[in-house]
Amino acid sequence: MFIKRISLVLILLTFSVTAFGQGTGSVKGKVRTKKGEGISEVTVTARLDGENIKSIKTGKGGKFKLSGLQPGKYNLVFEKPGYSGGVLYDVLVKRKKTNNLGGRLVLTVDQGTLVLIEASVFNENGFSVYGAKVVVEVINDDGSAKKVETGYTSRDGEVLFRFPVGAKKYRLTASGKKASATKVVEVFEAAIYRTALTLELTEDQ
């Protein structure tokens, strides 16, 4: 009777673990240099609501796969000594799906005590938008905002801003052809913070 009860408990536990795993998703990709070379031994951490959920190190060629993540939007943090840290915001994880980030994750050699914000601007079809205006405002504790920087996207749809280190919130507003999009980026330390903005452009735009 005792043996039967143990067997039943083991079966139930196995079923629970299996059922739990079936509801999770994963994220994979490659961390590389600007020249396309993979970077191994980079710590990749999935963060949800400010809490570190799971970490893994990139293997040979800079490739990684984070599995067993509950559905939701995660911030992915990338760290390795000698390189500027990176954060990729709002990475979507779906049930039973693998979000392939490809080679979008780029780390650069440490540039010292700087906050780097890299914004990528796309249209609704996922194509890069060239020449989009990006305005950066710092959000104060009382909710007010002050414009601190303006830039325009390159042919790759990217623009990079550099700021002194300090815990702050920056609001980025991209605009072009009567369309606009806004994202808030919270920074804590010297690192590269990446974010993407989508402009809903009509066909005649």
Residue whose structure tokens are 């042919």 = 155
Q: How many residues does the chain have?
A: 205
Beta strand pairing call for 179-187 and 168-176: antiparallel
What's the CA gap between 9 and 123, in Å, rounded? 53
What's the CA gap between 102 and 71, in Å, rounded? 20
Per-residue pLDDT of the chain (205 residues; tens, 9 = 90+): 544 444 444 444 444 444 444 689 999 999 998 878 899 999 999 999 889 999 999 998 999 999 999 999 999 999 987 687 789 999 999 999 999 999 888 888 666 667 889 999 999 888 999 999 999 999 999 999 999 999 999 999 999 998 888 889 999 999 988 899 999 999 988 888 999 999 987 655 4
- Nearest 5 degrees, angle CA 36-CA 41-CA 46? 95
Identify the helix (H) or strand (E) that includes residue 190: none
The architecture CATH gives domain 25-106? Sandwich (2.60)
Which fold is adopted by the domain 114-199? Immunoglobulin-like (2.60.40)
Give ranges for CATH 2.60.40.1120 in the chain.
25-106, 114-199
Tokens of 73: 């939007």
